[in-house]
């Protein structure tokens, strides 16, 4: 039996890791070789990513991988980018999407360009940190190349320049109908089209390690392969679904809630519901909403000094259900800081915005897309949260299949394995996930009418 090993660089908004994935007939296994924090740094009032620190950890992780890797791939969060000058040098550390520089920019751009052009071109959810709003707040005078975070790291590893499509689709600059950069939109925004690299597809070869990088990591001639470089695209590729009648929740710092489609939904109703059309593996569309996810929990734990999460969840499970209603997508929750105080103030004011719960989002995704849903696949770190899984099943009225926890890294590895011929179709890759990874099923219980009533309360207090 032939088993190949692939290196997966998986960068999340709060931590990163390098994994070694083994793939062969009936085999799909991950081994973590390096984990490291991803801490933003505030300098002179601006919140940055420590991109050089991340790159150093990527090199250390590749060095720790076993010899004979078939290839390596990189995925990360979306929207953020680095700008290069004419020599290929980085002009400055990428700015964090939670930085305040885009305050009010989205509203100005929407007023100037109009939602018909913006949504009709990109099909993208209106979020203040989308790349095009960051660019509208940036100085591009010295920029010759723009690279999203995974593309920037791949450039440093190989010297090759490109823009992987699934991540490019989150910028708001890609025409979701044909998968190319939108010249009319770039012109209206005043973004030089020449700074955007050619689009490449998941599974395409990027290049091999530069000689100095190969010497430093001990992997001469190692190929770097494009994967679904937006981490959610990789996670959705690893959903262990057996039919197309499924919804997914990729749950980490953010929760991405939606369905997988063959074509975008660009209707006025979809735009009003603020659903997004992002690229997936094999030309699919991830039709979803971004929900604030476990960010509120992470920031609350940080404010409380890091208490024991399992104990807190057990206590939360015993608390009265649906007593306090919070819209996690309220903009007041976006920046880092004292989350418990903001949540308490939000509840006191009771001035709730339109609800953005996963259950409501699933129902809306099914209605807007016309896709019937039989099961919800909850993948990522949140799949270990039993309370979250049970509440999701109860609120949606649908069975929830939890797992795999490492969906993003698995999707990264599987994209490389498919490129190498070790796995066939996307359906075969998903079947391999289902056959090899631990999964747990949660059936809905109780009366769903209580959740419907809570939703009406939240709507009434908007």
Residue 279 shares a structural domain with residue 181: no
Residue 191 shares a structural domain with residue 61: yes
Q: Which residues pair with 164 in a beta bridge?
A: 200
Tell me the pLDDT tens digit for each residue of 41-66: 999 999 999 999 999 999 999 999 99
Q: Establish whether 262 is a catalytic residue.
A: no
User: Three-state secondary structure along 174-219?
Assistant: EECCCCEECHHHHHHHCCCHHHCCCEECCCCEEEECCHHHHHHHCC
Report the percentage of the chain scoring pLDDT > 90: 73
Does residue 352 surpass a pLDDT of 50? no
Q: Which of 184, 205, 231 is the last residue of a domain?
A: 231
Cβ density class 440-452: b for 16+ within 10 Å, e for less:
eebebeeebeebe
Tell me the pLDDT tens digit for each residue of 201-258: 999 999 999 999 999 999 999 999 999 999 999 999 999 999 999 999 998 777 889 9
pLDDT value, residue 311: 67
- Weakest-pLDDT range from 1-5, 109-113, 449-453: 449-453
The enclosing domain of 25 has a CATH number of 3.30.420.40
Tell me whether residue 417 is in a domain.
no
Does residue 365 surpass a pLDDT of 90? no
Q: Could you tell me which residue, 341 or 54, shows the higher pLDDT?
A: 54
pTM comes to 0.88
Q: Which of 170, 196, 231 is the last residue of a domain?
A: 231
Q: Which of 194, 210, 231 is the last residue of a domain?
A: 231
- Weakest-pLDDT range from 156-165, 194-203, 372-381, 389-398: 389-398
Residue 266 shares a structural domain with residue 125: no
pLDDT value, residue 356: 39
Residue 226 shares a structural domain with residue 292: no
Tell me whether residue 61 is in a domain.
yes
Residue 134 shares a structural domain with residue 260: no
pLDDT value, residue 308: 64
Whole-number Cα distances in Å, 408 to 19, 30, 215, 233, 374: 11, 11, 28, 8, 23
Residue 208 shares a structural domain with residue 288: no
Tell me whether residue 368 is in a domain.
yes
- Weakest-pLDDT range from 212-226, 285-299, 370-384: 285-299
Whole-number Cα distances in Å, 295 to 26, 141, 184, 354: 36, 34, 35, 19
Number of domains the chain is built from:
2
Does residue 382 surpass a pLDDT of 60? yes
Tell me whether residue 414 is in a domain.
no
Q: Which residues constitute the domain of residue 432? A: 240-403+424-462
Q: How many other CB atoms are found less than 10 A from the CB of residue 259?
A: 25
Residue 336 shares a structural domain with residue 446: yes
Give the total residue count for the chain. 462
Does residue 435 surpass a pLDDT of 80? yes
Q: Could you tell me which residue, 99 or 295, shows the higher pLDDT?
A: 99
Tell me whether residue 227 is in a domain.
yes
Residue 367 shares a structural domain with residue 221: no
Tell me whether residue 84 is in a domain.
yes
Highest mean pLDDT, choosing among 186-200, 296-310, 343-357: 186-200
78, 148 in Cβ contact below 8 A?
Answer: yes
Tell me the pLDDT tens digit for each residue of 53-106: 999 999 999 999 999 999 999 999 999 999 999 999 999 999 999 999 999 999
Collapsed DSSP state (helix, strand, coil) of residue 308:
coil
Among residues 80, 231, 329, 394, the one annotated as catalytic is: 231
Residue 366 shares a structural domain with residue 275: yes
Does residue 343 surpass a pLDDT of 90? no
Tell me whether residue 303 is in a domain.
yes
Residue 14 shares a structural domain with residue 134: yes
Residue 227 shares a structural domain with residue 323: no
Residue 391 shares a structural domain with residue 446: yes
């Amino acid at each position: 039996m032939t088993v190949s090993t692939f290196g997966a660089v998986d960068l999340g908004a709060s931590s990163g890791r390098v994994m070694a994935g083994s793939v062969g007939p009936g085999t799909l296994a991950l081994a973590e070789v390096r984990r490291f924090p991803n801490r933003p740094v505030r300098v002179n009032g601006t919140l940055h990513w420590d991109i050089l620190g991340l790159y150093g950890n990527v090199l250390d992780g590749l060095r720790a991988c076993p010899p004979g890797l078939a290839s390596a791939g990189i995925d990360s969060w979306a929207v953020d980018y680095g700008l290069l000058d004419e020599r290929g040098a980085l002009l400055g550390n990428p700015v964090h999407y939670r930085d305040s520089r885009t305050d009010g920019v989205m509203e100005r751009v929407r007023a100037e360009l109009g939602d018909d052009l913006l949504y009709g071109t990109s099909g993208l959810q209106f979020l203040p940190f989308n790349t095009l709003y960051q660019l509208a707040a940036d100085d591009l005078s010295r920029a010759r190349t723009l690279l999203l975070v995974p593309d920037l790291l791949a450039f440093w590893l190989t010297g090759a320049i490109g823009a992987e499509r699934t991540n490019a689709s989150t910028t708001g600059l890609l025409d979701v109908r044909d998968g190319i950069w939108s010249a009319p939109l770039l012109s209206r925004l005043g973004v030089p089209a020449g700074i955007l690299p050619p689009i490449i597809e998941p599974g395409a070869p990027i290049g091999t390690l530069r000689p100095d990088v190969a010497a430093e990591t001990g992997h001469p001639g190692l190929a770097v392969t494009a994967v679904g470089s937006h981490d959610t695209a990789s996670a959705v590729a690893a959903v262990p679904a057996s039919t197309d009648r499924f919804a997914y929740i990729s749950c980490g710092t953010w929760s991405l809630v939606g369905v997988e489609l063959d074509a975008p939904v660009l209707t006025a109703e979809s735009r009003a519901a603020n659903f997004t059309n992002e690229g997936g593996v094999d030309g699919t569309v991830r039709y979803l909403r971004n929900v604030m996810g476990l960010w509120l929990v992470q920031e609350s734990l940080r404010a409380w000094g890091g208490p024991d999460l399992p104990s807190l969840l057990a206590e939360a499970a015993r608390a009265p259900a649906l007593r306090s209603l919070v819209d996690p997508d309220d903009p007041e929750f976006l920046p880092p800081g004292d989350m418990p105080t903001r949540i308490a103030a939000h509840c006191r004011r009771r001035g709730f915005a339109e609800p953005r719960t996963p259950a409501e989002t699933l129902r809306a995704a099914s209605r807007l897309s016309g896709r019937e849903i039989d099961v919800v696949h909850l993948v990522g770190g949140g799949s270990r949260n039993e309370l979250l899984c049970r509440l999701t099943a109860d609120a949606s009225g649908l069975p929830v299949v939890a797992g795999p926890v490492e969906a993003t890294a698995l999707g990264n590895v599987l994209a490389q394995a498919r490129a190498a011929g070790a796995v066939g179709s996307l359906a075969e890759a998903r079947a391999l996930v289902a056959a090899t990874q631990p999964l747990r099923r949660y059936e809905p219980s109780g009366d769903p009418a209580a959740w419907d009533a809570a939703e009406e309360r939240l709507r009434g207090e908007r």
